[in-house]
């Protein structure tokens, strides 16, 4: 039904690819058109899959935001972790009246937590890189393993 | 807003633009007063409505410009969730799409001259990050019950170390929403304040050409930052969502 509305000069396959690659909602509408013979449909499907796998690889490469932002993210995580530890420690001390004790302990713990968050961020980026390049650097692939 | 020259000294008011004022009548700001924050948040919602509802209302097979932009935004977020959080993360698409559209539109509207940037306030970004934090935590507990707590219990570490590591993990879990909100608000505030500082320098004749070029350059950078920060906010939400859906790594 939809295909009759499309002008002659538009490649319908290309149009279908445009929608499936950008907007999965429209997949139904494209394939709901009942005027297509099944052979052409499966042929189209194959070509779409081929194109999709290519575009997915390209999309992964685009995922990198610039290094400066990654740097800021890590710095903020580090500082926030330490400040949170400081706050928790000071709060506990204020309640219990043991001023330097918990302040010191929780500042150190907070710093460790900041480093932990930062390292996790670094690991995330590294995993992303290794998935893309498929290097055998033997870094454990954290995601996509359980589905 | 106020850029004035008192005698020879330069007067900087880089933070004046972040003041919250009532628009009708003056006096203190109450929870019900109509402020510039209210105005610009309302404009943000109107802009999103115009793009996503009015723009796509024709549902044309061949989209016009506005519809293609709306579909592009939809597809962009959809694919991002699928890539980061996996197929079962797609169910939470509305939340992430809403966050992304709100942030990206308030960032860009804030770049208009004389506009107010709602995302430059930690109160706004804090609420957004808190919403993500709460929903992701509740989701984790709802999906895995108390087993979700095993995120904090590192079974690969030696037993005596585990309580200390658990404490560190808990703190680092709470670091995430804080850094999530500070990053967005800090980036927006810093960029806008820097533009204002250069604008104050433009009042001096000798360095005004340099200042104007610098304002232009920083404005271009801010356009980039406005998008990237919204993108980073959305992608980190996806990462947290993934951790809540699959805590056992």
- What is the rounded average pLDDT of the residues B88-101? 94
Tell me, what's the pLDDT at B106?
95
Residue with tokens 């506005």: B66
- Answer whether B183's CB lies under 8 Å from A73's CB: yes
pLDDT over 90 for what percent of chain B?
55
Q: Characterise A138 by phi-psi region: left (phi > 0), alpha (psi -120 to 50), beta (else).
A: left
Lowest mean pLDDT among A59-73, B17-31, B211-225, B232-246: A59-73
Of A15, A24, A109, the CB nearest to B78: A24
Tell me, what's the pLDDT at B37?
92
Which 3 state secondary structure label does DSSP give B10?
strand
- Parse chain A into domains and list their residue ranges: 2-62, 67-133
Inter-chain contact B86–A66, Cβ cutoff 8 Å? no
Tell me, what's the pLDDT at B30?
83
Instruction: Tell me the pLDDT of chain B averaged across its residues.
Output: 89
Residue A147 in this model has a pLDDT that exceeds 50: no
Q: Is B17 on the interface with A (CB under 8 A)?
A: no
Confidence of residue B59 (pLDDT cuts 50, 70, 90): confident
Confidence of residue A29 (pLDDT cuts 50, 70, 90): low
CA atoms within 13 A on the CB side of B181: 18
- Residue B87 is given by DSSP the state G
Tell me, what's the pLDDT at A141?
43
Tell me, what's the pLDDT at A44?
86
Distance of residue A129 Cα from the nearest chain B Cα, in angstroms: 13
- What is the rounded average pLDDT of the residues B219-236? 92
Q: Which of B171, B184, B185 to mutate to test the interface with A (most CBs of A within 10 A)?
A: B171
Q: Which of A6, A113, A131 to mutate to test the interface with B (most CBs of B within 10 A)?
A: A113
Strands (E), B75-182: none
* Cross-strand pairs, B22: B35
Tell me, what's the pLDDT at A23?
52
Q: How many helices (H) and strands (E) does chain A have?
A: 6, 0
Q: Characterise A82 by phi-psi region: left (phi > 0), alpha (psi -120 to 50), beta (else).
A: alpha
Lowest mean pLDDT among A30-44, A131-145, B151-165: A131-145
Lowest mean pLDDT among A11-20, A137-146, B93-102, B117-126: A137-146
Q: Is A73 on the interface with B (CB under 8 A)?
A: yes
How many beta-carbon contacts under 8 Å exist across A and B? 87
Q: Is B196 on the interface with A (CB under 8 A)?
A: no
Q: Is A2 on the interface with B (CB under 8 A)?
A: yes
Between the alpha carbon of residue B64 and those of residues A26, A59, B71, B97, the distances in Å are 15, 24, 11, 22
Q: Is B66 on the interface with A (CB under 8 A)?
A: no
List chain A residues with CB under 8 Å of B88.
147
Tens of pLDDT, residues A86-141: 999 999 999 998 888 899 999 999 999 999 889 988 888 787 766 555 433 334 44
Tell me, what's the pLDDT at A22?
54
Instruction: Report which of B74, B96, B48, B43 is spatially closest to residue B233, judged by C-alpha positions.
Output: B96
Tell me, what's the pLDDT at B216?
94
The DSSP string of B132-152 is HHHHHHHHHHHHHGGGGGGGS
Tell me, what's the pLDDT at B151?
82
Tell me, what's the pLDDT at A48?
87
Tell me, what's the pLDDT at A142?
42
A14 to chain B: nearest residue by CA?
Answer: B62
- Answer whether A143's CB lies under 8 Å from A127's CB: yes
Tens of pLDDT, residues A38-79: 788 888 888 888 887 766 555 554 445 567 778 888 889 999
CA distance B235 to A63: 10
CA distance B199 to A48: 52
Tell me, what's the pLDDT at B112?
93
- What is the rounded average pLDDT of the residues A28-47? 71
Residue B97 in this model has a pLDDT that exceeds 90: yes
Which 3 state secondary structure label does DSSP give A145?
coil
Cα dihedral B27, B28, B33, B38 sign: positive
The tokens of B177 are what?
A: 């929403």
Tell me, what's the pLDDT at A45?
86
- Answer whether B187's CB lies under 8 Å from B229's CB: yes
Instruction: Report which of B39, B52, B53 is spatially closest to residue B109, judged by C-alpha positions.
Output: B39
- What is the rounded average pLDDT of the residues B201-220? 90
Q: Is B249 on the interface with A (CB under 8 A)?
A: yes
User: Whole-prediction pTM value?
Assistant: 0.74
Residue B2 in this model has a pLDDT that exceeds 60: no
Instruction: Report which of B218, B235, B248, B249 is spatially closest to residue B85, judged by C-alpha positions.
Output: B235
Q: For residues B22-46, b (16+ Cβ closer than 10 Å) or e, as one string?
A: eeeeeeeeeeebebbbbebbebbee
Q: Is A62 on the interface with B (CB under 8 A)?
A: no
CA distance A109 to A128: 29
Tell me, what's the pLDDT at B43?
96
* Cross-strand pairs, B5: B10
Instruction: Report which of B123, B156, B95, B137 is spatially closest to residue A140, judged by C-alpha positions.
Output: B156
Cα separation of the two ends of chain A: 37
Q: Is A59 on the interface with B (CB under 8 A)?
A: yes
CA distance B205 to A37: 73
Tell me, what's the pLDDT at B23?
86
Taking only Cα atoms into account, the Rg of chain B, rounded to an integer number of angstroms, comes to: 22
- What is the rounded average pLDDT of the residues B14-29? 84
Tell me, what's the pLDDT at A136?
39
B74 to chain A: nearest residue by CA?
Answer: A23
Between the alpha carbon of residue B177 and those of residues A53, A74, A76, A84, the distances in Å are 34, 14, 12, 12
Tell me, what's the pLDDT at A124?
80
Tens of pLDDT, residues A8-20: 555 566 556 655 5
List chain B residues with CB under 8 Å of A21.
75
Residue A33: Cβ-neighbour burial (10 angstroms; 0-12, 13-18, 19+): middle
Tell me, what's the pLDDT at B229?
92
């Amino acid at each position: 039904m939809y295909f009759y509305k499309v002008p002659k000069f538009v490649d319908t396959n290309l149009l279908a690819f445009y929608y499936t690659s950008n907007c999965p909602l429209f997949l139904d509408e494209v394939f709901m058109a009942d005027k297509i013979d099944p052979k052409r449909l499966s042929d189209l499907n194959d070509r779409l899959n081929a194109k999709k796998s290519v575009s997915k690889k390209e999309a992964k490469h685009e995922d990198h935001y610039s290094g400066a932002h990654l740097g800021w993210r890590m710095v903020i995580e580090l500082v926030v972790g330490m400040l949170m530890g400081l706050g928790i420690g000071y709060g506990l001390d204020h309640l219990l009246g043991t001023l330097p004790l918990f302040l010191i302990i929780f500042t150190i713990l907070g710093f460790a937590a900041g480093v932990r968050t930062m390292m996790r961020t670094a690991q995330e980026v590294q995993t992303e890189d290794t998935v893309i390049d498929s290097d055998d650097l033997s870094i454990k692939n954290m995601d996509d393993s359980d589905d | 807003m106020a850029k004035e020259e008192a005698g020879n000294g330069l007067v900087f008011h880089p933070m004046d633009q972040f003041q919250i004022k009532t628009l009708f009548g003056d006096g203190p700001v109450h929870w019900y007063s109509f402020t510039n924050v209210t105005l610009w948040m309302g404009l943000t919602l109107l802009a999103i409505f115009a793009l996503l509802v009015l723009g796509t209302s024709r549902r044309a097979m061949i989209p016009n410009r506005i519809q293609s932009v709306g579909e592009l935004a939809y597809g962009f977020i959809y694919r991002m969730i699928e890539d980061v959080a996996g197929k079962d993360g797609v169910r939470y698409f509305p939340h992430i799409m809403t966050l992304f559209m709100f942030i990206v539109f308030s960032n860009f509207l804030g770049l208009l001259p004389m506009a107010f940037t709602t995302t430059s306030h930690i109160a706004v970004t804090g609420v957004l990050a808190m919403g993500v934090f709460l929903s992701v935590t509740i989701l984790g507990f709802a999906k895995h019950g108390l087993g979700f707590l095993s995120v904090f219990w590192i079974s690969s570490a030696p037993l005596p170390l585990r309580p200390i590591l658990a404490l560190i993990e808990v703190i680092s879990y709470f670091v995430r929403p804080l850094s999530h909100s500070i990053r967005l608000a800090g980036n927006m505030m810093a960029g806008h304040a820097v533009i204002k500082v250069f604008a104050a320098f433009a009042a001096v004749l000798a360095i005004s050409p340099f200042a104007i070029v610098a304002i232009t350059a920083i404005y271009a950078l801010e356009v980039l930052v406005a998008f990237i920060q919204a993108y980073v906010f959305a992608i980190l939400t996806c990462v947290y969502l993934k951790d809540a859906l699959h805590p056992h790594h």
